[in-house]
A and B are shown apart, each in its own frame.
Chain A
Amino acid sequence: MTKLSLRDVVKRFGSNTVCDGISLDVAEGEMVCLIGASGAGKSTLLRCINLLEPIEDGEIFLDGEDISIPGLDPMPVRRRIGMVFQSYNLFPHMTAIENVMLAPRRVYKKSRQELRPEVEALFEKFGLADRMEHYPDQLSGGQQQRVAIVRALAMKPEVMLFDEITAALDPQLVGEVLEVLRLLKDSGMTMMLATHEMGFAREAADKVCFLKDGRIVEEGPPSVLFENPTDPQTREFLARVL
């Protein structure tokens, strides 16, 4: 069943076309990895899906419902789509648990006491039980990124978007974050990742899309795309990064 569907999505910044007619279907529980050089439009595409950027043309459907209608209130949509950023973007003036509880408290009008058990369970699940009362600057990069994931999950989203979430991490910390993604996938979360971790994409993704100049050049299961790419541009890119 299709969870998320993009139809000819176009995004421009001034005269610069960043997404140039992108169409893509993501099935429920599927993990889709977007790969490609920096500036190919991966991050922008994710930001468009989260309605952080308005699109110029095309449609985006969530459960068959058009969420890209101009003028639509983006807030209810964003609650259903979680997003995690490369630079973590934790709120530096709040402890980890306050970071996580802020949005559910304000949006779902729940008290701290109500939220506490489920939030603690999330921290527990992602190995952060002893880090709840720490401020972001007291956490390692990997811990911060995991808190950011917990923060997005606390809103109980139906889809999760991950924007290069391991790109800013020291190599030895990448593993713990990818481990979290595997956990999530196993729990059936629908996920889209922009990533440079080819190994992870190859091993864990259900579908991989290669983007170049704002277009999807080639898409398919990792076994096909990595082992037998049909497009010369894909081959050239993979030759460089693998």
Chain B
Amino acid sequence: MKTTSFISIVFALSATSALAGGHCAAGKTLTEGKLTIATGNPAYYPWVMDDSPESGEGFEAAVAYAVAAEMGFAADDVVWVRSSFDEAIQPGAKNFDMNMQQYSITPERDEVVDFSAPYYSAPMAVLVVGEGKNAEATLEGLKGLLWGAVGTTTAVPMLTDLIQPDSDPLLYGDNADVTAAMQAGQIDAALFDLPTALFLSAVMIEGSSILGQFPADRSDNPDQFGMLMEDGNPLKACVDEALAALTDSGALAEIEAKWLQDTTGVPLID
């Protein structure tokens, strides 16, 4: 009995290390044999269901496990941690191998941290309440609205460069505050990436609707989500390789189709 369990432990250990040892990620993760992934606190639908990434439910959770599997990690070897935006872009050592919370890839951010190849390209959508619902879904029609956005996202340059509203937009710290301002009637419209807009209109803001979406190529800087890593992290090559394989196999598209709603029905704004 004693011998058997001892042997099985030795076998299990050697099996794990054998697997990792033969793979790209070997020796490149924070904890050998484990892949540590950070998400937001809390993490939201539809990116992570019920704030529990361990379930693999939700778009980012599902992508995380698919990438991990592609890199040779068992589901049990994926360790989840939580982090905030500021924590993630600070210089210095990270407490995660990669961080997934809808980080838009920008060249400036790329100077401080590393991003994987994009795992999603999110079109921007216009969420409206009250008066805003009567606006025309054209660039001209949007100018007259009172705008709001989260100040730390790429929605801000899109707002100021592309839409150029007549009155200065109001900016907020997070989605919850934009939501509160919409409910208080202080803004007519807000820019979100489409998945967030869908969620907010369906669940959070009563009486709101999505006026339209911008094609991703409309702006110079289509919002692409990448996994954030410490600058110079050697793991990046492995992650990119895994993402490329998932894209080629169509697995990524399948996950996207499953977790992010079909966007037809929301008109394009030209």
Chain A in direct contact with chain B (Cβ < 8 angstroms): no
